Chain A
Amino acid sequence: MYEIIEGFIEAGRLIITLDPDVMTIAARSIIVSFIATITATLISVPLGAAINFGTFPGRKGLINLIQTLYSLPTVIVGLLIFLLISRVGPFGFMRLLFTPTAMIVAQTVLVLPIMTGLTISALSGVDPVIRDTLHSLGATRLQFLINVMKEARFAILATVAVGFGRAISEVGAAILVGGNIMASSFMRSTRVLTTAISLETSMGNIPKSIALGIILLTIALGVNLAITMVQHR
């Protein structure tokens, strides 16, 4: 019990003194997950719109599949990307394994289903009368899509927050394709908050684990708080 309390005190010190090691890991985590979330947004919003407004055979089945993939295990995504980018894989020539880029790719794939699915829900949640009104006012196809997205903007923003939360908190994929490497160069290292917590805990370095954990939790809560504030503005 005493060790845990001591851990929290030490964690506080690491955070307050802006311990360079801890801060670097936190910054890398944010950058990797941020880029992954933005990439996933750029794919999932148009894809979600295409599925929501499209009429094609198998549409319902596709939506069901996307919803099933919400619970895609992170370690499976890690394994899949590992197989694709490992030296013997089809993209092995790109030499992406154990780089931050590989982590970004893995996290993008990981959050794509949930972000696409929630985008579909956000767009289909727009009041049918609003959709009819847009048509009735003489919107072109593009004007219609832009305005429906405008109406769903807060729900889409929430989708982005969910995506970021899932990306920054996953550990399975990051450790498989990133490798938890601490190199001398910031952008060559692949140690992020989750993989560092895993490592430090296994090494018995509890105060550092707690410090990293508090930071991870703060980031996740901070993003959601910011989104909530925007929605209520």
Chain B
Amino acid sequence: MIDLKSVSKRFDDTVVLRGVTARVERGEIFAIIGPSGSGKSTLLRLINLLDTPEGGEIRIGGSSIHAKGDQRLRIRRMMGMVFQKPAAFSATVYENVAVGLRFRGVGEGKIREKVGDALDVIGLAGYGERKARTLSGGEMQRVALARAMVTEPEVLLMDEPTANLDPVSVGMIEELVLQINRDLGTTIMISTHDMYQGQRLAHRIGVLMDGVFAQVGTPREVFTLPTSREVARFIGIENIIEGVVVAAGSGIAVIDIGGTSIRAVSPFGVGEEVCLCIRSEDLRILRLSGEGDIPGKNSLPGTVLSIAPRGPFSRVAVDCGFLLTSILSWKTVDSLGIEEGEEVFVSFAPDAVHAVRAAQG
């Protein structure tokens, strides 16, 4: 549905996009995640013809969007966009939702019917005569969504639509996004800096970093098998350790990290430099190395550096010659009875370790 080929954009001396290539399928929810300033908004604005790319090509439904005059307007009217900042026209809620239909010359009777339906869907039936600027941010953003959807676009672009909203409003918008995609089959591209929102909503996620997609895949692929050190760090993997493969065979490799060996599932050959990514949730902490051990498991001795609360969990940092952090429930920490400065063992399975080539990072 949306084809991006080597799309690039710069603002004065700042290169924002340096050759973005991706394909969004019809009916798909595609989330763009990435740190602030990575070019998410710019990419969506280029697709919505609000900015012009320096290079590359964008196609929607097979035809290039870089047209002029009537053709440009026709392409733009295939799309709807919701912006990060909730903004309403200085008019009633009804008139706000009706704007796009009026631009298309739709009759008053049809407008009344469609706007009425749209207000029902967004849960603001009966708000039609209210001045839109008196609404809360969340309500205004739902109006913005209705305004974009009432023209039945094939593509809906959403630029961090929940960035400024309270959790309840975020939930409502997310529910609407899923509903629109499910009921109308609308192709949706949504940018977010909340990676978990990407995970909740998207069929596929593109991780935009430094102006290119560092990785595109299903949420599961992106969150469990990051392709680079940067992606791993962005998606919240706390333990990223550099090492060299010293032995490899039958899918399991031994990686040397400054004298300490770690066994990991890895396709890399001997001598290759790799980064090991281990989720904190996958690390266990034991008082004795043999306790509950399974053959082949890693069990590294270390000293507890700190135990810090994090929501309903505790984050335990252990110095094993390099830093490893583990996320444990309070109950686990209590039953272990560990304290800062104590000797412990950090235990994890080889398949909890995801290795990426260090050169990529």
- State yes or no: do A and B come from one complex: yes
Which of A's residues lie within 8 Å of B, judged by CB?
Answer: 127, 129-130, 132-140, 143, 147, 150-151, 153
Q: Could you tell me if B87 and A133 are in contact, using CB atoms closer than 8 angstroms?
A: yes
Selecting from B97-105, B260-268, B341-349, the interface stretch reads B97-105
The interface residues of chain A lying within 8 Å CB-to-CB of B100 are: 137-138
Contact B73 A129 (CB under 8 A): no
Chain B, Cβ-Cβ closest to A127: B87
Closest partner residue, chain A, to B101 (CB atom): A137
Which of B48, B76, B85, B90 touches A150 (beta carbons < 8 Å)?
B90
Q: For A130, what are the chain B residues with a Cβ–Cβ distance below 8 Å? A: 87, 89
Query: Which B residues between 133 and 163 are near A, CB-CB below 8 angstroms?
Result: 144, 147-148, 151
Give me the interface of B with A, judged by CB distance under 8 Å.
45, 48-50, 73, 76-77, 79-81, 83, 85, 87, 89-91, 99-100, 103-104, 144, 147-148, 151
CB < 8 Å neighbour of B80 from A132, A134, A136, A150: A136
Q: With CB as the reference atom, state the residue of chain B lying closest to A139.
A: B103
Residue of A nearest to B88 (CB): A130
Cα-based distance from A93 to B90 in the complex (angstroms)? 49
Further contacts, 10 of them, CB under 8 A, given A136-B48, A138-B100: A129-B83, A129-B85, A129-B87, A133-B144, A135-B50, A136-B79, A136-B81, A137-B99, A143-B103, A150-B90
> Inside 8 A of A153's CB, which chain B residues have their CB?
90
22 A–B pairs (Cβ distance < 8 Å), ordered by A: A127-B87, A129-B83, A129-B85, A132-B45, A133-B81, A133-B147, A134-B99, A135-B48, A135-B50, A136-B79, A137-B80, A137-B99, A137-B103, A137-B151, A138-B76, A139-B103, A140-B73, A140-B103, A150-B89, A150-B90, A151-B89, A153-B90
Q: Which residue of A lies closest to B81 (CB)?
A: A136
- Please give me the residue from chain B that is nearest to A137 by CB atom: B100
Give the residue name and chain of the A residue nearest to B76 (CB).
A138
The docked-state distance in angstroms from the alpha carbon of A143 to that of B148 is 17
Contact present for B90 and A147 (CB under 8 Å): no
CA distance A136 to B83 in the complex (A): 10
Q: Is the CB of B50 within 8 A of A132?
A: yes
Complexed CA–CA distance, A139 and B104 (Å): 8
Which residue of B80, B90, B104, B148 contacts A151 across the interface (Cβ within 8 Å)? B90
In Å, the complex CA distance between A136 and B44 comes to 11
Q: Which residues of B contact A147 (CB under 8 A)?
A: 89, 99
Cα distance A217–B68 in the bound complex, in angstroms: 54
Measured in the bound complex, the distance between the Cα atoms of B76 and A133 in whole Å is 12
CB-based contact B104/A138 at 8 Å: yes
Chain B contacts of A143 at CB under 8 A?
103
Given A127-B87, A129-B85, A130-B89, A136:B50 Cβ within 8 A: yes
Give CA–CA (A133, B144) in the complex, Å.
Answer: 9
The interface residues of chain A lying within 8 Å CB-to-CB of B99 are 134, 137, 147
- Check if A135 sits within 8 Å of B90, measured CB to CB: no
- Contact check, B76 vs A135: say whether CB atoms are below 8 A apart: yes
B102 to chain A: closest residue by CB: A143
Give B50 Cβ to nearest chain A Cβ, in Å: 6
CB-CB < 8 A to B73: which residues of A?
138, 140
Chain B nearest CB from A205 CB (Å) reads 49
- Which residue of A is nearest B144, CB measured? A133
Closest to B78 in A: A138
Complex interface: chain A residues within 8 A of B104 (CB): 138
Q: A224 vs B135: C-alpha distance in the bound complex, in angstroms?
A: 29
**CA of A153 to CA of B99 in the docked complex: distance in angstroms?**
17
Q: How many Å from the CB of A15 to the closest CB on chain B?
A: 39
> Given the complex, which residues of A lie within 8 Å of B79, measured CB to CB?
136
User: How far in angstroms is the closest Cβ of chain A from B88?
Assistant: 8
In the complex, chain A residues whose CB is within 8 Å of the CB of B50: 132, 135-136
Please name all residues of chain B whose beta carbon is closer than 8 Å to the beta carbon of A136 when the two chains form the complex. Answer: 48, 50, 76, 79-81, 148
- State A174–B83 Cα separation when bound (angstroms): 51
Which residues of chain B are near A135, meaning CB under 8 Å?
Answer: 48-50, 76
Q: Are A132 and B90 in contact (CB under 8 A)?
A: no
A134 to B81 Cα, complex, angstroms: 10
* Residue of A130, A137, A143 ringed by the most chain B CB atoms within 10 A: A137
B309 to chain A, nearest CB (A): 39
Q: Collect the chain B residues with CB atoms within 8 Å of residue A133's CB.
A: 81, 83, 87, 89, 144, 147
A132 near B103: Cβ-Cβ < 8 Å: no
10 closest A-B pairs by beta carbon, nearest first, are A138-B77, A129-B87, A137-B100, A136-B81, A129-B85, A129-B83, A138-B103, A138-B76, A139-B103, A143-B103
Residue ID in chain B nearest A134 by CB atoms: B99
Which residue in A129, A132, A138, A140 is a CB contact (below 8 Å) of B151? Answer: A138
In the complex, A136→B89 CA distance in Å?
Answer: 14
- CB-CB under 8 A from B77, the residues of chain A are 138
**Closest chain B residue to A129, Cβ basis:** B87
Report Cα–Cα, A136/B45, bound state, in Å.
9
> For residue B74, which residue of chain A has the nearest CB?
A138
Complex Cα distance A223/B114, Å? 41
Chain A residue numbers with a CB within 8 Å of B80 are 136-137
Which B residues touch A140, using CB under 8 A?
A: 73, 103
